[in-house]
Structure 1
Amino acid sequence: MNEQEKRKTLEVIKGFSRHTLMETLDIEFVDVGRDYLKAKMPVINATRQPEGILHGGATAALAETAGSMAAYILSGGKGIAYRGIELSINHIKGVCSGNVYATAVPIHKGSTTQLWEVSIRDDENNLISIAKLTTIALPN
């Protein structure tokens, strides 16, 4: 995928985010390639637990967002909706500030179901959480 294709794809994805949870959590898609999609989310009051660390639910929302959008974009997305049907996530390290980045890569891309691995890392590239997302392709 060349730089022009990347920019165009990221602009299309950005349009999907308006007036959604992605906008509420300030999730932004920052990179895309032939076999991955990367999203960024700030660690701010809206995404923190009362103790001041990144909320696991916000992290899970980031993981499902990255994986579901990756399924849609990297599978062609024409006339098909990709929905998450199962999410499993392990939280490894807490983070209190900065950004976290979710990178979704396919493990299996079937015609009906897909399995995605989503790694969440901080600004220093430390692993924060790892998730597996199963998506299903449904006609729009």
Structure 2
Amino acid sequence: MTLLRPDVTLEYLRKRQRGCLPELLGVELVSLESGALVGELPIRPELLAPNGFLHAASVIGLADTCCGYACIAHLPEGAKNFTTVELKSNHVGTAREGKIIAKATAVHLGRSTHVWDATVTNADGKTVALFRCTQMILY
């Protein structure tokens, strides 16, 4: 099993997102531990769909970012990076204000692929989406 890399910290990940989509979305990293990463996304009008509810792409952006950062933090020895090769999301709720929280958890940490799940909730703990992605490890 791949262990949490000691050189990948929340501050490292925060610096890495500067000037990229996660920063544009407003992703805020909360915690990182072995096998898991938590991030939040404050809801603002720009993240809503024209119907006034949170846009699915905003939810996916948070979930995919959290899973991707968790993958970076758990890359196997000798790996240089990763790329997402598959993702799926089931949206079972929504939000209009406050924040959403994603907790990414490891399902499979191999040398050639990782599989991560993320549960996205609103601030009250109600599930907004279930997300799964597969990453190909790059050497």
Report the alpha carbon displacement of residue 123 of structure 1 after superposing the two structures with TM.
0.6
Q: What is the alpha-carbon distance in structure 2 between the residues aligned to residue 137 and residue 31 of structure 1?
A: 23
Change (3 A) 1:26 1:112: same
Report the alpha carbon displacement of residue 80 of structure 1 after superposing the two structures with TM.
1.7
* 1:60 alignment counterpart: 60
* 1:133 alignment counterpart: 133
- The structure whose residues are more often helix, as a share, is 1
Structure 1 unaligned residues grouped into runs of 5+: 1-5
1:29 aligns with 2:36: no
Report the alpha carbon displacement of residue 79 of structure 1 after superposing the two structures with TM.
4.6
Q: How many residue pairs end up in the alignment?
A: 134
* 2:112 alignment counterpart: 112
1:94 aligns with 2:94: yes
Identity %: 24
Q: CA RMSD in A?
A: 1.8
Q: TM-score, normalised by structure 2?
A: 0.89
Q: In the alignment, is the contact (CA less than 8 A) between 2:76 and 2:111 conserved in 1?
A: no
Structure 2 unaligned residues grouped into runs of 5+: 1-5
Which structure has more relative contact order (CA 8 Å, sep 6+)? It is 2
1:12 aligns with 2:12: yes
Q: TM-score, normalised by structure 1?
A: 0.89
**Match of 2:28, as an amino acid?**
E
